[in-house]
Amino acid sequence: MASKRQYTGIRKLFLRYWKAYGGLNAILGSPYMHISILVTVFSSGTWLNDDWVDTPISVLPNIIGFSLGGYAIWLALGDDKFRASISGKANNGGESPFIVVNATFVHFIVLQILALVIALVGKSQPINNSPLFIQRFLLELAPWLHDVSIVISSTGSFVGYFIFIYALFSALAATMAIFRIAGWLEVYHVKQLKKPDDNNPANNQKQSDG
């Protein structure tokens, strides 16, 4: 079925992105993730209020548009020879530097979209806005569910605000990845300048004299 093939294709794309980025180990070991946790903890005065969702909803759409533009610029960086030089499987069988940098950008954009979706769901307050007869039935059945709902709401706010902050710090990670590529591009250009120009008559004359 066409729908099954689409799900399979999406799964393969996400698995390749996840593997190229480094998986869970890369996230747990990321300094940007650690700083995001600290910032989130110290910002409890923000995410403990229900209106914290307004900040991601107002900020992220513009950042997502900017990120997609930056991703397009990255794909156009350098010439075909340079892109070919950083493409292909690595010696250890891993992904090429080209795919790794792409995975960094994709991770950045995925976090932004995930943070925006969480904020939109949080703004709808699905627990508080569920039908009243369902709330009454559940509370009569298990009164302790009220306390559980408060914990779930606070935990969801913490996670949502953390992902929002992590998405912002991932912008810095993507920027530094581009800076690393700029260094590679500089080395590539230096090597190109050191190569003899076959179209230069002076070089051709030296080769014939030799």
The residue ranges of every structural domain in the chain are 18-196
What was the pLDDT predicted at 127? 59
Are residues 160 and 112 in contact, defined by beta-carbon separation less than 8 angstroms? no
Cα separation, 147 vs 142, in Å, equals: 10
Cα separation, 183 vs 162, in Å, equals: 32
Cα 124 to its chain centre, rounded Å, is 25
Count of CB atoms within 10 A of residue 92's CB? 5
Q: What are phi and psi of 130, to 5 degrees?
A: -70, 160
Are residues 158 and 52 in contact, defined by beta-carbon separation less than 8 angstroms? no
What was the pLDDT predicted at 141? 66
Cα separation, 38 vs 30, in Å, equals: 13
What was the pLDDT predicted at 159? 92
What was the pLDDT predicted at 4? 81
What was the pLDDT predicted at 78? 64
Profile the chain (210 residues) by mean pLDDT over runs of 10 residues: 82 90 90 94 89 90 82 73 72 75 88 92 72 62 67 87 92 82 80 66 47
Are residues 184 and 77 in contact, defined by beta-carbon separation less than 8 angstroms? no
Length of the chain: 210
